[in-house]
Amino acid sequence: MAALVTLAEGRPDGAEAPAGVVDGRSLRRRNSFERAVDALLDLIERGNPAPTAQQIADHAAMSVRTVFRLTADLESLHAAAVQRQMERTAHLYDMPLPTAGSLRTRIRALLAHRVRVLETIAPVRRVAARLAGESPRIAEGLELQHLLLRTQVAEVFEPELSRLPRSRRLDALHAADVAAGWETWDQLRRTVGLPVAESVRVVTLLLEGALRT
């Protein structure tokens, strides 16, 4: 009897494809997946929070069928895009910030850094918030982001926090962390609709109030 041929592999059933064929196929699939992720990120960063498969395919110069061959569903592709953006923007958190000088000077330095970080991550950060409940990797990434930002607040405002009574220090740190955090910034920028300069003024008031000795 003639050997059965599997449609997916195009070879006799049970036979192994040559290593070069498998490696080449895997590489092409990986490259196509990277193009789809890049296309999705580009569309999100241009202001489309939920691109369709057709829009992703058009932007990546591939067919919709190819998009769905690459991933189980669009949410999986979104998760990959969020993970990629977290990796790409990790360097933004490394900027050294002053831990001495006047409070106003340190607030200005911190908020200049926050504007750079939060305005850069905003489009994809909103997608990440939507997906975090279903993706442990994204949830862990967001938790790490928050820990980095909170640590910055604790270090930059250590002089003020150390002068507070012990009973108030943790509350003041929580308040300053929330004041300069992503959720507050997103509310001011997207919900209230304030421009960057006005948002900075509001956060400055919040920080001054939280750190008042």
Read off the pLDDT of residues 102-138 as tens digits, 9 standing for 90 and up: 999 999 999 999 999 999 999 989 988 988 888 888 8
- The pLDDT value recorded for residue 84 is 84
User: Tens digit of pLDDT for each residue in 142-200?
Assistant: 998 999 999 999 999 999 999 999 999 999 999 999 999 999 999 999 999 999 999 99
CB-count exposure of residue 143 (10 Å: 0-12, 13-18, 19+)? exposed
- The pLDDT value recorded for residue 95 is 83
CATH code of the domain containing 61: 1.10.10
Beta-bridge partners for 6: 11
State the average pLDDT for the chain.
86
**Mean pLDDT, rounded, for 73-102:** 86
- The pLDDT value recorded for residue 201 is 98
- Domain of 50, in residue numbers: 18-73
Task: Verify that 108 and 40 share a domain, yes or no.
Answer: no
- Roughly what angle, to the nearest 10 degrees, separates helices 166-179 and 136-156? 120
In a domain, 165, yes or no: yes
The residue behind tokens 């740190």 is 173
The residue behind tokens 């939507």 is 130
**Which of 86, 173, 98 shows the shortest CA–CA distance to 138?**
86
In a domain, 78, yes or no: no
User: Could you give the CA distance from residue 131 to residue 154 in angstroms, rounded to a whole number?
Assistant: 28
**Mean pLDDT, rounded, for 45-67:** 90
Number of domains observed in the structure of the chain: 2
User: Could you give the CA distance from residue 57 to residue 32 in angstroms, rounded to a whole number?
Assistant: 10
**Mean pLDDT, rounded, for 1-10:** 31
Task: Verify that 111 and 190 share a domain, yes or no.
Answer: yes
- Residue 101's pLDDT band, with cuts at 50, 70 and 90, is very high
C-alpha distances (whole Å) from 28 to each of 56, 70, 112, 133, 137 are 18, 11, 42, 31, 25
Dmax over Cα atoms in the chain, in whole Å?
Answer: 89
